[in-house]
Amino acid sequence: MTRALGLVRTLALATALFGSAAGAQTIKIGVNEPLTGAFAASGTYVVNGAKIAADEINAKGGILGKKIELVIEDNKSNPTEAAAVAEKLITSDKVPVLMGAWGSSLTLAVMPKLMEYETPMVVETSSSGKITTTGNPFIFRISPPSAVEAAAFKGIVDKLALKKVDFLVINNDWGRGTAEDFSKMMKDKGISIGLVETMDQGAQDMSAQLSKIKSSDSETVIVTTAVDQLTLIFKQAAALGLKKRIITTGGSQNPDQIIAQAGAAANGTMHLTTFLPWFPDKTPNPEATNYFITEWKKRGFEFAGCTESFRGYDGIRTAAAAIEKAGKAEPAAIKAALWNINIKGLNGDIVFRKSGPEGKESGQSQPNVYLIEINGGKVEMKTL
Amino acid sequence: MSEFLQHLINMLVLGGTYALLGIGLTLIFGIMNVVNFTHGVLYTFGAYIMFIVVQQLGLNFFLALPVAVLAGWLLGAAIELTLLRPLRGSDIDTTMLVMIGAWIAMQSGALWIWGGVAKSVTTPFPEAPLVLGPVSVSWLRLFVLAAAAMLILVTYLLINRTSLGRAMRATFQDHDTASLMGVNVDMIYTSTFAIGSSLAAAAGALLGPVYVIFPQMGDLAAVKAFAIVILGGLGNITGAVVGGFILALAEELGAGYVSSGYRDAMGFLIIIAVLIFRPTGLFARAERVG
């Protein structure tokens, strides 16, 4: 028995030593995503997209002669956990750059840690304006802030003849930020704003909010939340006989999943997305889009996840490009290099422009935004 | 007016499921005096049984419900036999810690088996709702309300009208006297915990298809169940039912007419008020002291 225990201990020690020795041969990228909790579906898609990018880069020989290694941690859809995970990735795994943290509230919670340890992070999904305007020079965002979504939406407002709009948004920085930015844009256009209803990120029953919206005198509802809650909203809206036009924002809708789970209730709804996997030829980089979609399907993932997973793919390619440009896997060099990269993302060129207070600007790329409509269970593109 | 009627219908549907959650816990927490942190996990467990039977095995939805109830009963009995029986007689803190451990272990187990991504269950009910003038309600939710009402009635009769129910009440009132009167006390402990657990699993099996199924779904349900039990008075079945409807009413009207951001806070504000003015719960009878 004692001998067996001794053997186990030796083995554990050997694994630990071998593990760290092997670690030196790779370049680590920290991935901080929600794999459980309210945003589990979305975070898992992003991580799977990130793995495709890492495998693609490694198959071509890696960067700086080394393979890249993703150190993936679950932030549990919880801001406190997101900050703890970031600290663990930086101090214990010694990653020189991170990607994360999906939700705006999660990313905002991580930001002070980036300042503390002077480590840059590629933000792949979050859309709250605050992220790039509060003066955190370690933030490099490739997703559109909600004000950019609102501006892109401006063009179609007249065509849709919007008069009065209600909001139903997730009660966090993402949802409230979207309601604010869209309200501002719509008021400028002379559209009146009715109700602004919120829901907790873990809430499963939105009937009370939807009943209130049903009796209001607006004709359109703007809904902002992630896919799991969205499918519930579509089902519950149908059960209440809510007949208003529903438009969703944020790009985390996975329209195909809504069609599959909400059925007829999804018809006539519109969605602002940041990727067009249905029409690869209409994306800014058709060849890369086709490669990504083929690879995604080859791995047996659901097509619905593409609208979310491409963010992980682009995020890791952004971080890898910066490491290559920096010539070394060190946080300060990567941060400087991020300002000089220019890569073809699946949703437009990734080039960072300065955003936020002078002297401590964050980087913000300018991705495209699209409006799609679900009709007869199919996705159609609308011109913005 | 039509908005108010719709809120009332919503309250009725939601209240039925809250009541079901409450009565399962009031048996265990109120009568057995075990602070049951596994109640939420059993709720989750019932929902996953529905997922396995309906989605993975492709069997009938209505067949899956009794399977989930039975599975909940068995898991509850297993928890009682392996964790609670050896701890009988130890203080409430020890039991509480063990139950917290069981909760974490079982929730992580669900995460390990099924992953964190939410699952949904298809139901045989039509998508188009039942429309009654200005209000409408989905057929699935009506079915859930009817099933919950039936389960509540069965539990009430079981506790108050059967010899098993009488033995249960006797055991938890005075364990030694009941034993002297020939009641198999060990059996009563196991069955009470198993019945409470099967009710939690039933609530999960009914609500899983209404919402989505994921490993942490039971956490909020358990918090609400505790709130309902405290609201209605420990061990009081009628109290748990009424408490469930009061919580649903507070949430609906709170979200509808005050602020939807505070929806989940409304119920707890009421509970604070109850604890201040009627600490034994709304429906507790006067108790003998000493």
User: A231–B120: do the CB atoms touch at under 8 Å?
Assistant: yes
Query: What confidence tier does A81 reach under pLDDT thresholds 50, 70, 90?
Result: very high
Q: Is B212 in the A-facing interface, judged by CB distances under 8 Å? A: yes
| Continuous H helices in chain A | 2-23, 40-59, 79-91, 104-117, 130-133, 146-157, 173-188, 207-214, 227-239, 255-262, 286-298, 306-326, 331-338
User: A238–B129: do the CB atoms touch at under 8 Å?
Assistant: yes
Alpha-carbon gap: B212 to the closest alpha carbon of chain A (Å): 8
Q: Using one digit for the tens of pLDDT, what is the confidence trace for A298-308? A: 999 989 899 99
> From the CB of residue A151, how many other CB atoms can be counted at a distance below 10 Å?
14
Please check the confidence at residue A18 and state whether its pLDDT lies above 60.
Answer: no
Considering only CA atoms, which of A169, A41, A28 is closest in space to residue A105? A169
Alpha-carbon gap: B117 to the closest alpha carbon of chain A (Å): 5
Q: For chain A, give the mean pLDDT.
A: 89
- DSSP for B259-283, please give it: -GGGHHHHHHHHHHHHHHH-TT-TT
Of all residues in chain B, the one with the smallest CA distance to A176 is B261
Considering only CA atoms, which of A40, A49, A201 is closest in space to residue B116? A40
* Predicted pLDDT of residue A368: 86
CB–CB of A383/A158 below 8 Å? Answer: no
Query: Is B141 inside a domain boundary?
Result: yes
* Predicted pLDDT of residue B35: 87
* Predicted pLDDT of residue B49: 96
Q: Is B251 in the A-facing interface, judged by CB distances under 8 Å? A: yes
Inter-CA distances, B51 with A360, B60, B70, Å: 50, 11, 15
* Predicted pLDDT of residue A377: 86
Contacts of B261 in chain A (CB under 8 A): 171, 198
Query: What confidence tier does A14 reach under pLDDT thresholds 50, 70, 90?
Result: low
Query: What confidence tier does A24 reach under pLDDT thresholds 50, 70, 90?
Result: low
Query: Is B246 inside a domain boundary?
Result: yes
User: B129–A231: do the CB atoms touch at under 8 Å?
Assistant: no
Return the bridge partners of A247, or none: A222, A270
Query: Is B208 inside a domain boundary?
Result: yes
Q: What is the CATH number of the domain that holds B90?
A: 1.10.3470
Considering only CA atoms, which of A80, A66, A75, A55 is closest in space to residue A26? A66
Three-state SS for A184?
helix
H or E, element range at B150: helix B139-161
User: A238–B3: do the CB atoms touch at under 8 Å?
Assistant: no
**What one-character DSSP code corresponds to residue B254?**
I
Average pLDDT over residues A81-105: 95
Contacts of A208 in chain B (CB under 8 A): 7, 10, 251-252, 254-256, 260, 263
CA distance A264 to B129: 12
Of B235 and B113, the one with more pLDDT = B113
User: A264–B138: do the CB atoms touch at under 8 Å?
Assistant: no
Query: What confidence tier does B89 reach under pLDDT thresholds 50, 70, 90?
Result: confident
User: A239–B217: do the CB atoms touch at under 8 Å?
Assistant: no
Alpha-carbon gap: A206 to the closest alpha carbon of chain B (Å): 9
Considering only CA atoms, which of A240, A243, A237, A215 is closest in space to residue B137? A240
Considering only CA atoms, which of A233, A237, A242, A130 is closest in space to residue A178? A130
Q: Using one digit for the tens of pLDDT, what is the confidence trace for B11-21? A: 998 899 899 98
Alpha-carbon gap: A74 to the closest alpha carbon of chain B (Å): 10
* Predicted pLDDT of residue A169: 95
* Predicted pLDDT of residue B287: 55
Q: Is B117 in the A-facing interface, judged by CB distances under 8 Å? A: yes
Please check the confidence at residue B38 and state whether its pLDDT lies above 90.
Answer: yes
Query: Is B191 inside a domain boundary?
Result: yes
Long-range (24+ apart) CB contacts under 8 A made by A112-118 are A112/A83, A113/A83, A113/A86, A113/A87, A114/A86, A114/A138, A114/A139, A117/A87, A117/A90, A117/A91, A117/A331, A118/A331, A118/A332, A118/A335
Please check the confidence at residue A7 and state whether its pLDDT lies above 60.
Answer: no
Tokens 């007689």 correspond to: B89
CA distance B61 to B50: 8
User: A199–B118: do the CB atoms touch at under 8 Å?
Assistant: no
Of B106 and A5, the one with more pLDDT = B106
User: B255–A202: do the CB atoms touch at under 8 Å?
Assistant: no
* Predicted pLDDT of residue B290: 45
Please check the confidence at residue B265 and state whether its pLDDT lies above 90.
Answer: no
Query: What single letter denotes the amino acid at residue A25?
Result: Q
Contacts of A239 in chain B (CB under 8 A): 129, 136-138, 141
Of B87 and B31, the one with more pLDDT = B87
User: B7–A211: do the CB atoms touch at under 8 Å?
Assistant: yes
Three-state SS for A96?
coil
Query: Is B229 inside a domain boundary?
Result: yes
> From the CB of residue B149, how many other CB atoms can be counted at a distance below 10 Å?
14
Q: How many domains is chain B built from?
A: 1
Alpha-carbon gap: B156 to the closest alpha carbon of chain A (Å): 28
**What one-character DSSP code corresponds to residue A63?**
B
CB–CB of A119/A111 below 8 Å? Answer: no
Please check the confidence at residue A244 and state whether its pLDDT lies above 60.
Answer: yes
Three-state SS for A28?
strand
Counted across chains A and B, CB pairs separated by less than 8 A come out at 94
Query: What single letter denotes the amino acid at residue A262?
Result: A
H or E, element range at A384: none
User: B3–A40: do the CB atoms touch at under 8 Å?
Assistant: no
**What percentage of chain B exceeds 90 in pLDDT?**
47
Average pLDDT over residues A121-125: 96
Please check the confidence at residue A348 and state whether its pLDDT lies above 80.
Answer: yes
Q: Is B133 in the A-facing interface, judged by CB distances under 8 Å? A: no
Inter-CA distances, B226 with A286, B18, B23, B243, Å: 54, 11, 10, 10
* Predicted pLDDT of residue A155: 79
Indicate the Cα dihedral angle B276, B281, B287, B290, nearest 10°: -50
Average pLDDT over residues B143-152: 93
Alpha-carbon gap: B90 to the closest alpha carbon of chain A (Å): 34
CB–CB of B203/B21 below 8 Å? Answer: yes
Query: What confidence tier does B230 reach under pLDDT thresholds 50, 70, 90?
Result: confident
Please check the confidence at residue A20 and state whether its pLDDT lies above 50.
Answer: no
Average pLDDT over residues B199-204: 94
Q: Among A204, A208, A261, whose Cβ lies nearest the Cβ of B10? A: A208
Please check the confidence at residue A83 and state whether its pLDDT lies above 90.
Answer: yes
Q: Is B252 in the A-facing interface, judged by CB distances under 8 Å? A: yes
Q: Among B10, B127, B129, whose Cβ lies nearest the Cβ of A211? A: B10
Query: Is B85 inside a domain boundary?
Result: yes
Average pLDDT over residues A54-79: 94
* Parent domain of B25: 2-121+131-286
ipTM of this predicted structure: 0.85
Average pLDDT over residues A226-234: 88
Query: Is B126 inside a domain boundary?
Result: no
> A101 preceded by cis ω (within 30°)?
yes
Among the residue ranges A93-97, A107-111, A126-130, A378-382, the one predicted with the least confidence is A378-382
Q: Using one digit for the tens of pLDDT, what is the confidence trace for B160-170? A: 999 999 998 88
Query: What confidence tier does B285 reach under pLDDT thresholds 50, 70, 90?
Result: low
CB–CB of A209/B100 below 8 Å? Answer: no
Query: What confidence tier does A19 reach under pLDDT thresholds 50, 70, 90?
Result: very low
Instruction: Report CA A149 to chain centroid distance, whole Å.
Output: 14
Q: Among A40, A200, A263, whose Cβ lies nearest the Cβ of B127? A: A263
CB–CB of B130/B139 below 8 Å? Answer: yes
Average pLDDT over residues A132-139: 94
Please check the confidence at residue A206 and state whether its pLDDT lies above 80.
Answer: yes
Burial A174-194 (b: 16+ CB within 10 A, else e): bbbbbbbbbbebbeeeebebb
Please check the confidence at residue B289 and state whether its pLDDT lies above 60.
Answer: no
* Predicted pLDDT of residue B274: 85
Considering only CA atoms, which of B252, B153, B148, B159 is closest in space to residue B200? B148
CA distance A101 to A33: 5
Please check the confidence at residue A294 and state whether its pLDDT lies above 60.
Answer: yes
**What percentage of chain B exceeds 70 in pLDDT?**
98
Average pLDDT over residues A240-262: 86
* Predicted pLDDT of residue A323: 95
Please check the confidence at residue B146 and state whether its pLDDT lies above 90.
Answer: yes
Tokens of B161: 């009208």
Please check the confidence at residue A92 and state whether its pLDDT lies above 80.
Answer: yes
- Return the residue in B21, B104, B119, B211 with the most chain A beta carbons within 10 A, the one to mutate for interface testing: B211
Query: What confidence tier does B281 reach under pLDDT thresholds 50, 70, 90?
Result: confident
Q: Among B117, B131, B215, whose Cβ lies nearest the Cβ of A241? A: B131
CA distance B216 to A366: 36
Three-state SS for A248?
strand
* Predicted pLDDT of residue A10: 56
Please check the confidence at residue A5 and state whether its pLDDT lies above 70.
Answer: no
* Predicted pLDDT of residue A22: 45
Of all residues in chain B, the one with the smallest CA distance to A199 is B261
Of B220 and A341, the one with more pLDDT = A341
CA distance A331 to A220: 46
* Predicted pLDDT of residue A384: 67
* Predicted pLDDT of residue A23: 47
Query: What confidence tier does A4 reach under pLDDT thresholds 50, 70, 90?
Result: low
In angstroms, the first-to-last Cα distance of chain B is 52
* Predicted pLDDT of residue A1: 46
Tokens 């709250």 correspond to: A128
Average pLDDT over residues A180-198: 92
Among the residue ranges A90-104, B163-177, B197-211, the one predicted with the least confidence is B163-177
* Predicted pLDDT of residue B64: 95
Average pLDDT over residues B32-57: 93
Of all residues in chain A, the one with the smallest CA distance to B121 is A261
User: A204–B211: do the CB atoms touch at under 8 Å?
Assistant: yes
Three-state SS for B161?
helix
Q: Among A74, A199, A235, whose Cβ lies nearest the Cβ of B260? A: A199
Query: Is B182 inside a domain boundary?
Result: yes
* Predicted pLDDT of residue A347: 87
